Every structure is written in structure tokens, then in C-alpha cells.
């Protein structure tokens, strides 16, 4: 089986490819534009496999997409390529519109031009398309109405709708999944957990938006990778599947868990929780995300294997042992600073 993974050099895409290459019957084509957040190192030994091929291309480039699909003739496309950082979308929404909406449309059209009815198109999305929950609201399920509240989530909602429309209108064999917040090794140090780890290691203040009461469901990236393969190969055509980690935590609880793990690794600097600092909240900050994974549990017999308390400690230790990687990124100025302030500036005018 040949699988095309878009965005395969990213945090989740690389985990997917590592999982796929472990199966000797799967050949993988990684299509990636290698934007600022790409981490080819995360592919590990997969890059040296005879069953791995790389295509340096952008999903907005229709000619490149036609060439790649014609050359490789994949049986499954797992579409992960996306701009994904909410704060960046606040400061510069156009890149999210171009990649997440236009890029997805061009990829769907390339698939349609290939005219292969058996080609399975798996679109990977986010729970943020459903909007914000109160502490007492039921968790998101596949029937929850869309209510995106940031440029990022709006762009992903639009791409979800495009995939469904191309399935209904043109008969493409599509399936979708919406995941909760991922964490684990190789996550680019602009997201909450790696930012907290890197700053705590350096003894810098740990910025927590608002009061830290915002709740997220945390999903280990390796669990997500296995779930995605189940959806891609066994999910019902036209259906969507919510993928969660059964690990709702406030941002403040996450910060305390990171600090506790670092207290064990670097006890001389304990308690790291003294570094926690509350900063002005992000514009339009969703209060809570929560996933109801009943469908994927029952239909595809998938459940997460990682417990948050253990896996977050392992993640902290991984970053502790891979300082050269994230320090180079921060030194290059592509991560580490506060983003998402553009809306606040506009509102004050």
C-alpha cells in the first residue's frame, strides 16, 4: 500500500510516518513545503527506509500536486499540511486562509483530476472548529455544530466543509477526523507545553494566559498517529471521527505538571512552579475543549494508551535531553516570543 502524507515533516505528520514505516507493507510519500515549523529530524530512521520518498512541494501548487499524484498513485492520502498556531493566525490570518482553505481545495481538485474512485482522502482537522464549551457543557461529538472563533479554527472549519462537499458533489472517498490538543516529542517550541518546558529549564517566567482556567483535552501524538491510521483505513466513507485523549486539564494544571517533572530532573532549581506568571489573555480565547470519542471507540476499537501524568513527565524529560534542537529554533527567532497581540492592538485604537 502506498500512502501520501501531506505535511509529513511536521509534528503530527512525522509521528504518522514513523508509525507507517514500521509496517513493512506500507510505502510512504511525504509531501511537505518545509515551512518554518517543519522538523525533518522527527522522521528519524524513516528517512533512510527504501519505502520512504520525499516530495518538496506546496499544496497550493496545483501543477506540483498533479505531478506527485501521477508519479506515485497513492491509495490513501492523509492530509495534515496546515498552518496551526492560533496566535500566529491572530497576527497574520492570510497565511491560514491560503494554506488551510485554498491549499485543501487545490488538493481536492488534484485528487478529482486523477479520477481514481478508490483513492481514500483522509482530512485531519481540529476540535477547535466546534468553538468554546462551558465547564458543564457536554463534550464535542461528531454532530456538534461548528462555531469557530479564531482565524485558525475558521480556516480549518472551511477546509472540513470543502472535504465534505467534494465527497458529496464529486463522489470522492473522503473521511475526516477532529483531534484535541496534541503533545509529545518534537512539538515545535511555540505551543504551550514545549514553551513551558523550555522556559522552565532556563528559569524564565512561565506565561499563562488569563487565570489559567482554560481547559483542553490532551492527546499524545503517538496515540493520535495510531488513531489516524484506523480512521484512514477503516473509517466509513463520508463520516468524521473525534479523537481525544481522555485528559481534560486546565492550562494551569498543565503548567504544574511540567514543573513537577522538572523538579525531579533538576531539583536544585525547585520549585519550578514559582516561575508561573499570569499574562494578558489571548483575544477570543476559547474556555474549554473536550472530546467525546465514543464513535472511534466503538466503531474502530481505538483508545489512547498514554496516561497524561506519565506521558507529560516523559515529554518533559525528552525536551530536557534534546536541548540543542529546540535551542537552535529559539535562537533563530522562529519561536519563543509572545504572538497573537494584533487583535489587542486593533481593539485599542
Q: Are 16 and 5 spatial neighbours (Cβ–Cβ below 8 Å)?
A: yes
Q: Is 128 a catalytic residue?
A: yes
User: Which listed residue (52, 152, 241, 319) is catalytic?
Assistant: 152
Q: Are 20 and 13 spatial neighbours (Cβ–Cβ below 8 Å)?
A: no
Alpha helices for the chain (secondary structure H): 11-21, 62-72, 86-91, 93-96, 104-114, 151-170, 192-201, 221-234, 251-265, 294-300, 308-321, 323-331, 342-347
Backbone angles phi, psi at 207, to 5 degrees: -75, 125
Secondary structure of 219-260 in HEC code, one letter for each residue:
EEHHHHHHHHHHHHHHCCCCCEEEECCCCEEEHHHHHHHHHH
Q: Is 286 a catalytic residue?
A: no
Q: In angstroms, rounded to a whole number, what is the distance separating the alpha carbons of residues 154 and 147?
A: 8
User: Which listed residue (32, 83, 87, 127) is catalytic?
Assistant: 127
Please tell me whether residue 4 adopts helix, strand or coil conformation. Answer: strand
Q: Are 66 and 112 spatial neighbours (Cβ–Cβ below 8 Å)?
A: no
Q: In angstroms, rounded to a whole number, what is the distance separating the alpha carbons of residues 201 and 199?
A: 5
Q: Are 235 and 178 spatial neighbours (Cβ–Cβ below 8 Å)?
A: no
Mind giving me the DSSP string for 262-305?
HHHH-GGG--GGGGEEEEPPPTT--SB--B--HHHHHHH-----
Q: In angstroms, rounded to a whole number, what is the distance separating the alpha carbons of residues 82 and 191?
A: 15
Q: In angstroms, rounded to a whole number, what is the distance separating the alpha carbons of residues 232 and 176?
A: 8
Nine-digit cell string for 245: 485523549
Q: Is 299 a catalytic residue?
A: no
> DSSP secondary-structure letter at 146?
P
User: Which listed residue (87, 128, 160, 190) is catalytic?
Assistant: 128
Query: What is the set of active-site residues?
Result: 127-128, 152
Amino acid at each position: 500500500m502506498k500512502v501520501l502524507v501531506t505535511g509529513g515533516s511536521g509534528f503530527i505528520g512525522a509521528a504518522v510516518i514513523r508509525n507507517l514505516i514500521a509496517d513493512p507493507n506500507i510505502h510512504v510519500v511525504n509531501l511537505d513545503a518545509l515551512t518554518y515549523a517543519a522538523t525533518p529530524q522527527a522522521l528519524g530512521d524513516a528517512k533512510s527506509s527504501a519505502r520512504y520518498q520525499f516530495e518538496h512541494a506546496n499544496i497550493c501548487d496545483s501543477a506540483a500536486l498533479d505531478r506527485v499524484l501521477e508519479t506515485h498513485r497513492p491509495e490513501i492520502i492523509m492530509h495534515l499540511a496546515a498552518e496551526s498556531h492560533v496566535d500566529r493566525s491572530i497576527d497574520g490570518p492570510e497565511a491560514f486562509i491560503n494554506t488551510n482553505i485554498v491549499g485543501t481545495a487545490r488538493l481536492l481538485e488534484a485528487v478529482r483530476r486523477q479520477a481514481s474512485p478508490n483513492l481514500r482522502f483522509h482530512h485531519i482537522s481540529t476540535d477547535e472548529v466546534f468553538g468554546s464549551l462551558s465547564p458543564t457543557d457536554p463534550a464535542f461529538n461528531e454532530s456538534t455544530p461548528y462555531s469557530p472563533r479564531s482565524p485558525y479554527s475558521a480556516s480549518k472549519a472551511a477546509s472540513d466543509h470543502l472535504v465534505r462537499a467534494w465527497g458529496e458533489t464529486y463522489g470522492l472517498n473522503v473521511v475526516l477526523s477532529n483531534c484535541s490538543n496534541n503533545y509529545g516529542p518534537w512539538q515545535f517550541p511555540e505551543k504551550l507545553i514545549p514553551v513551558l518546558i523550555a522556559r522552565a529549564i532556563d528559569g524564565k517566567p512561565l506565561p499563562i494566559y488569563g487565570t489559567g482556567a482554560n481547559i483542553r483535552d490532551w492527546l499524545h501524538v503517538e496515540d493520535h498517529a495510531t488513531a489516524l491510521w484506523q480512521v484512514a483505513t477503516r473509517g466509513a466513507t463520508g463520516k468524521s471521527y473525534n479523537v481525544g485523549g481522555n485528559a481534560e486539564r486546565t492550562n494551569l494544571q498543565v503548567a504544574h505538571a511540567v514543573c513537577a517533572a522538572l523538579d525531579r530532573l533538576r531539583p536544585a532549581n525547585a520549585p519550578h512552579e514559582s516561575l508561573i506568571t499570569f499574562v494578558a489573555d489571548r483575544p477570543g480565547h476559547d474556555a474549554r475543549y473536550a472530546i467525546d470519542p465514543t464513535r472511534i471507540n466503538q466503531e474502530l476499537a481505538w483508545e489512547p494508551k498514554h496516561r497524561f501524568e506519565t506521558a507529560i513527565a516523559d515529554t518533559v524529560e525528552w525536551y530536557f535531553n534534546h536541548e540543542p534542537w529546540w535551542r537552535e529554533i529559539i535562537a533563530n527567532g522562529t519561536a519563543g516570543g509572545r504572538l497573537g497581540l494584533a487583535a489587542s492592538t486593533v481593539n485599542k485604537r
